[in-house]
Structure formats: structure tokens, C-alpha cells
Amino acid sequence: MQVPPEQGVFLQMLVEITNARKVVEIGVFTGYSSLAMAMAMNNDKHARLLGLESDERPLVLAEQYWEKAGVRSRIDVVLGDAVETLRALAQQDGQDVTAWKDESGEFDASWWAQPGTVDIAFVDANKRAYDEYVQLVYPLLRTGGVVVLDNVLWKGKVADPEHADKTTESIRQLNATLFHDERWTYSLLPIGDGVALCRKR
């Protein structure tokens, strides 16, 4: 569900190291990881984070924490299926993409739809859709940009061949596929429930 504190610090450091100005998060939940990354951007008024979330209920809590931390203005949220949103950004320049609670009307989907401009994409959503998320975010990511995948050890099940349920198998296969995919430099880190770093070559 939500990332542990040490992973929040890791995400903050990654944003700082890469000097990320454009971050996409797939799976916001209560907004802790969004908060961590947005706080790391706080000195750059042009930096923004786009959160994709399918459930509005946890966003109410997330927004409260973003407001308290003073980062709400740099976070755009799109409510709905992340696969559909990413497809709309990639194929239609985001024409049909609208932001959640965009009272000011400042949300610019076409800015998010620009290919090769996203610095970091953090994925912590439907595990069996991870491969599709990665494929859809790839054209949006700049060369040298990073995709961060959460839960790639899946409670240790991925490392245990006796576990062969569909979710475990899909994550196991994704790890193997990304490791051998020449478009990426891949590293699996034992942080939290396992974090994969995929750098676009």
C-alpha cells in the first residue's frame, strides 16, 4: 500500500540526485511517496509531479498532507485508470485528460504528454499491470530517466520458486524481462519490499 519511511527517503534522494523537474507517480494512495518527492523539488518552482490514482478516497487524506507541507500547488492528480491515462497522454497529446480538483484550470495535459521529458516515474499500483505501465511510460521518459518499481520482491515470493500465483509470476517475469532488455540499465535493490531501478539508455 504505502511505502515505508526508508523508501520515502530513497525517493527524495533520487529526485535530488537527478535534479528531477518532471515526475510521474502511478499509484498515489495516501500520498506519502508523492509528498517525499515533491518536497525534494521544493526549491524549483518549475518542477511538478503528476499522480495517477484510481481511488478518490485516499486522495482526500493525501491532499491534506500536501497542503500542510506546502507542496499541493506542484502536484497534479488524474483520477482514473492509469493505463488509460498513459495511453491518452502518449496517443492523443492528453486531449481527454483532466485533473482532479483543478479549480484554477492550470493543469496542462499537453505538457505532460511531451515525449522524452519525464525524469522519474514511480510505479506502485496494480502489480499485474506493471509491464504495461513500463511500456506506456517509456516514450515519455527522457534518455537517462529512471523508472522506479515498488514491491518487486513481493513479500519474498518472487525469490521462492514454490510461489507461482499469477501476481508473483508476473512480477518475476517482469524482473527477468527488464534485466535482459537492452533499452534499460536494471538494478534490484532490497529496500522495503524490493525496488527496481530501470534507467533508460
* Cα→Cα distances 100→59, 81, 104, Å: 10, 13, 11
pLDDT score at 96: 86
Would the pLDDT of 92 be above 80?
A: no
* pLDDT tens, position by position, 122-178: 999 999 999 999 999 999 999 999 999 999 999 999 999 999 999 999 999 999 999
Judge whether 183 and 146 are in contact, CB under 8 Å: no
Sign, Cα dihedral of 36, 40, 43, 46: negative
pLDDT score at 136: 97
CATH of residue 70's domain is 3.40.50.150
Residues 6 or more apart from 46 whose CB is under 8 A from it? 21
**Which range marks the domain in which residue 142 is found?**
5-200
Confidence band for 45, pLDDT divided at 50, 70 and 90: confident
Cell of 6: 526508508
**Domain total of the chain:** 1
Would the pLDDT of 93 be above 80?
A: no
Unique residue bearing C-alpha cell 534507467: 199
Judge whether 52 and 82 are in contact, CB under 8 Å: yes
pLDDT average, residue stretch 35-40: 97
- Look up the pTM and report it: 0.96
Question: How far apart (Å, rounded) are the C-alpha atoms in residues 64 and 47?
Answer: 20
Cell of 97: 485528460
